[in-house]
């Protein structure tokens, strides 16, 4: 039973020496290197886990639409009662371009409906996509093949 007091005395005597060791340059430097090594290892592991498999692709993704220059297929100018074919005029203004602004007026094919409110309706293609645009007389119509919308 005398071992316990003897052990306590040895431990108490060693405490100041252990405290002195913690203040030594070698102890602090070793602690810092161990900390840095552990941090670097954790950082590398996080990077490796982040580089895992790419996220799964959506179940279905439609192929991207092929866009191209404006190809006017039909242009009608007039009112609900009478209209004229303005396709040739609109083609001259927009065909082959990526986008175009067409002024809507009687210059396109005459005045098909005197005294009535007239409108231009254009159907055109942008590669694989068919689009429409319309506008009233004395305004303009914007044809755009720069986006799929």
Do 81 and 42 share a structural domain?
no
Taking the C-alpha atoms of residue 52 and residue 29, their distance in angstroms, rounded to an integer, is: 35
Over the stretch 89-101, which tens digit does the pLDDT of each residue have? Answer: 999 999 999 999 9
Max mean pLDDT among 11-15, 26-30, 41-45, 114-118 falls in 114-118
The residue segments making up the domain with residue 23 are 3-50
Total structural domains in the chain? 2
Neighbours of 131 (CB within 10 A): 16
> Given this model, what pLDDT does residue 16 score?
57
Q: Is residue 11 scored above 80 in pLDDT?
A: no
| Contact status, residue 69 vs residue 96, Cβ threshold 8 Å | yes
pLDDT tens for 21-74 read 667 788 788 878 888 888 888 877 777 777 766 666 777 776 666 788 999 999
With beta carbons less than 8 A apart as the criterion, state whether 72 and 86 touch: no
Q: What's the whole-model pTM score?
A: 0.57
Burial of 83 (0-12, 13-18, 19+ CB in 10 A): middle
Same domain, residue pair 124 and 89: yes
């Amino acid at each position: 039973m005398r071992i316990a007091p003897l052990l306590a005395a040895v431990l108490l005597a060693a405490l100041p020496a252990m405290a002195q060791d913690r203040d030594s340059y070698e102890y602090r430097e070793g602690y810092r290197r161990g900390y840095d090594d552990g941090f670097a290892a954790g950082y590398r592991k996080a990077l490796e886990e982040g580089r895992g498999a790419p996220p799964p692709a959506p179940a279905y993704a439609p192929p991207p639409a092929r866009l191209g220059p404006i190809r006017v297929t039909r242009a009608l100018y007039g009112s609900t009662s009478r209209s004229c074919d303005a396709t040739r005029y609109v083609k001259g203004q927009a065909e082959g371009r990526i986008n175009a602004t067409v002024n809507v007026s009687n210059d396109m094919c005459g005045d098909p409906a005197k005294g009535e409110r007239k409108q231009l309706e254009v159907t055109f293609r942008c590669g694989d996509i068919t689009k429409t645009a319309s506008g009233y007389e004395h305004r303009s119509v914007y044809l755009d093949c720069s986006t799929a919308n």
